[in-house]
């Protein structure tokens, strides 16, 4: 069958470095760090006391009091980002068949704060079961796409994807596939996460996975740097409207870029550590390139997973070199997690948004906080160190990898009629 073309017609974001998509993009190009001492709770007794929190966030600016009480923070972020993307796309005012508009959303953890607080309050009490009636509806990961569909009346496919830190990239790939198979005219996709709670930070810290650079938070997330000591947790969301090309053209929608492929694989190696051979990453990169019908010389930019962990950064770059060969030295590579931190299940969404904007604007956001070269990393690779770079970006990839060995890659190209 003839597959449909899929284009990006709307973007929205709420991130640690900007509360709209345009603010986020500007901060990326300016190399702004979103990391600081945690304010969501008192972190003084924790080994890691820093994170990339959303700044200047007042729930009342977005939701009525009654509505806000029914939403965990991850759903609040998701609704905000999705609403911006939908309004940016014009879907909310277009004369469209809402039966053929879906919502597929990713999150790795979901309602962590409501879960933590309800369980804590129960065990602090006298054992009498007093639970918030919204405990379960606020906690479950699939509630966020449910809320988005209810707000806009979109009656197409509606569900959540869960693959740890690759969750929202899986959501994009599922959305892409449904549209190109003709199962939907448009899908609102993306992801949201709000893990900066005592349980979230304490759990990741116990795994020795997080940076403890508490005295200098702005430089804590430092992918590829020889002195990196772990990832920095982030929170927020990004929404992306994917649409069938002819449907978008017929209603006069603006188009940011075209999505042309996606790849999925598993490391089948370890609960949390990447396979040092890079075999799973090699598989997912080749799968994405094959799906997009590209050869290795076509790629101009890769927004890498690049979490700032000692093992992961090296393994990913070595896999890139194995797949791309000499072309690895011709393309730009950068990790925007150096600025946003790691948004876990929402990482794929905000990084896909950054990748789309790189294709649209021919600019590569930098990898900030790089001071000392790691002898295990090839110095000839262009890691876009500390400063944004201008170049024509015809094709770009975005990688995300999750605990459990989940790997996902998406491919975007410059839109041409």
The catalytic site residues sit at: 165, 305, 342
Query: How many Å apart are CA 308 and CA 222, to the nearest integer?
Result: 5
**How many CA atoms within 13 Å lie on the side-chain side of 416?**
5
Of 367, 399, 353, the C-alpha closest to 21 is 353
Of 295, 357, 293, the C-alpha closest to 331 is 295
DSSP three-state, residue 192 = strand
Q: Report the first-to-last Cα separation within the chain, whole angstroms.
A: 21
Burial 230-268 (b: 16+ CB within 10 A, else e): bbbbbbbbbbbbbbbbebbeebebebbbbbbbbbbbebe
Q: 337 with 221: CB under 8 angstroms?
A: yes
Residue by residue, DSSP assigns 117-146 as: HHHHHHHHTTS-----TTHHHHH-TTHHHH
Q: 383 with 370: CB under 8 angstroms?
A: yes
């Amino acid at each position: 069958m003839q597959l449909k073309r899929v284009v990006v017609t709307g973007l929205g974001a709420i991130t640690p470095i900007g509360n709209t998509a345009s603010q986020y993009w500007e901060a990326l190009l300016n190399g702004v760090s979103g990391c600081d001492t945690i304010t969501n709770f008192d972190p003084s007794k924790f080994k890691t006391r820093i994170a990339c929190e959303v700044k200047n966030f007042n729930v009342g600016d977005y939701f009525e009091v009654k509505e806000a009480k029914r939403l965990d923070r991850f759903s609040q972020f998701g609704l905000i980002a999705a609403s911006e993307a939908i309004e940016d796309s014009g879907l909310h005012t277009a004369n469209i068949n809402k039966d053929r508009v879906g919502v597929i959303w990713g999150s790795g953890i979901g309602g962590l704060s409501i879960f933590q607080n309800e369980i804590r309050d129960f065990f602090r009490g006298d054992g009498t079961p007093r639970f918030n009636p919204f405990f379960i509806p606020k906690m479950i990961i699939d509630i966020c796409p449910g809320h988005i569909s209810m707000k806009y009346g979109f009656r197409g496919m509606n569900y959540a994807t869960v693959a740890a830190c690759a969750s929202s990239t899986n959501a994009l790939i599922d959305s892409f596939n449904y549209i190109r198979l003709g199962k939907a005219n448009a899908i609102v996709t993306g992801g949201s996460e709000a893990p900066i709670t005592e349980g979230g930070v304490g759990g990741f810290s116990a795994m020795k996975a997080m940076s403890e650079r508490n005295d200098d938070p702005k430089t804590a997330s430092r992918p590829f740097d020889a002195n990196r000591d772990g990832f920095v947790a982030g929170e927020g969301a990004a929404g992306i409207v994917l649409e069938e090309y002819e449907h978008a053209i017929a209603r006069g929608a603006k188009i940011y870029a075209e999505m042309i492929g996606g790849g999925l694989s598993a490391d089948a190696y370890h609960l949390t550590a990447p396979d040092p051979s890079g075999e799973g990453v090699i598989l997912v990169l080749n799968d994405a390139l094959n799906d997009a019908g590209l050869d290795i010389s076509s790629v101009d930019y890769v927004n890498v997973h690049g979490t700032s962990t000692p093992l992961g950064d090296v393994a990913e770059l070595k896999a890139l070199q194995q797949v791309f060969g000499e072309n690895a030295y011709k393309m730009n590579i950068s990790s925007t997690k150096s600025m946003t931190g790691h948004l876990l299940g929402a990482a794929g969404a905000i990084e896909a948004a950054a990748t789309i904007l790189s294709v649209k604007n021919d600019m590569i956001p930098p990898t900030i906080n790089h001071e000392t070269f790691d002898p295990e990393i090839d110095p000839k690779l262009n890691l876009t160190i500390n400063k944004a770079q201008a170049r024509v970006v015809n094709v770009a990839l975005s990688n995300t990898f999750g605990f459990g060995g989940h790997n996902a890659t998406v491919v975007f190209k410059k839109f041409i009629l």
